[in-house]
Amino acid sequence: MELTKDKQQILNNKTMKRILLLLTLVLSLSIQAQSYEFTLIQNDVAEFSVAVVPDFNSTAPHPIVNDHNFTIMLPDGATVANVSGIGTYTTGVYTNLDGAPAPGPGNDATVFNLVQDITLVAHTIGTPIVLATFDVLGPPDTGAVSLLENGALTTASQDIFKSFFIATTSGNLADGSSNGYIGQTGDVMFAYDATTLSAPTAELVGVSIFPNPAMDVVNIKGLKNDLKSIEVYNIAGQKVITAANNLETINVSELEAGVYFLNLYTENASKTIKFIKQK
């Protein structure tokens, strides 16, 4: 049976509405999936940064409405100082945690709270955006500095210690009394031991790398003494490359795109250089 022109138009309209509805649902799900993951970065022996790593691209500055928190755990006696970042932070220190669940005992907690709206710059997937940088004073010989994992510590100040939260891409922030922390995970720790936090006897001067960003290889220039070894760490603190020969050129072609830290070692000196790996 042949359809009349009016009936055909109605069918066409219904089909178009279904397509538009499907596209709207797909777009909605895509937007909801966008998030930032918190991570901790060691810049120097006792200098650290907290950053967020987006899982989506943004071609324009991205406003974050209201505030965000994150909590740094330190061994008893160590303190946070010289805080700087893209916003203004207040910090609260909590020291009586021995009766709390792990990682409370033997640790102090410093809670960072951003007290103003901020705007994150345009960014690409996997590239960290530093929120705050700080020094750790009085570092002990043992223990660790760590970014508290979501929901890891329950105390009388429960909402404060739900570690960290940040506004979603819609700009809405969940009520502090509810679990508004889903999607932001970033359990990162740096131990105080001879390999990770000991200061070198001297720093390599005049040494640099090129190209940066890099796609296939990283070249080292400016060396006056022979390198003994090199190490490459990813943003999560995992060692991804180690080598002890042919060190003037480092093959990074197998690395995923993102930010990495190259550690250079000679007999009596060392240096850490940050570089970006592109696809």
pLDDT in tens, 143-173: 788 877 655 555 444 444 544 544 433 333 3
The confidence score (pLDDT) of residue 67 equals 55
Strand partners, 75: 107
The confidence score (pLDDT) of residue 191 equals 60
Rounded Cα distance between 117 and 27, Å, is 26
The confidence score (pLDDT) of residue 177 equals 34
Mean pLDDT, the chain, rounded, equals: 69
Rounded Cα distance between 180 and 183, Å, is 9
Rounded Cα distance between 11 and 5, Å, is 10
Rounded Cα distance between 198 and 200, Å, is 6
More confident residue, 157 or 221: 221
The confidence score (pLDDT) of residue 254 equals 92
Integer CA distances (angstroms), 258 to 42, 62, 117, in order: 16, 20, 27
Residue 194 — pLDDT band, cuts 50, 70, 90?
very low
The confidence score (pLDDT) of residue 3 equals 52
The confidence score (pLDDT) of residue 44 equals 75
The confidence score (pLDDT) of residue 250 equals 93
Q: Is the pLDDT of residue 269 over 50?
A: yes
* Consecutive H or E run containing 136: strand 129-137
The confidence score (pLDDT) of residue 234 equals 78
The confidence score (pLDDT) of residue 21 equals 40
Q: What angle do CA 103, 104, 108 make, to 5 degrees?
A: 115
Residue corresponding to tokens 């409370």 = 104
Q: What is the pLDDT of residues 51-96, one digit of tens each?
A: 877 777 878 776 665 556 778 888 887 888 888 888 777 787 877 6
Tell me if the pTM is above 0.75: no
Residue 4 — pLDDT band, cuts 50, 70, 90?
low
Rounded Cα distance between 11 and 167, Å, is 42
Q: Is the pLDDT of residue 137 over 60?
A: yes
Q: What is the pLDDT of residues 98-128, one digit of tens each?
A: 666 666 777 888 888 777 767 777 778 777 8
Q: Which of 7-11, 130-134, 174-178, 214-218 has the lowest average pLDDT?
A: 174-178
Q: Is the pLDDT of residue 192 over 70?
A: no
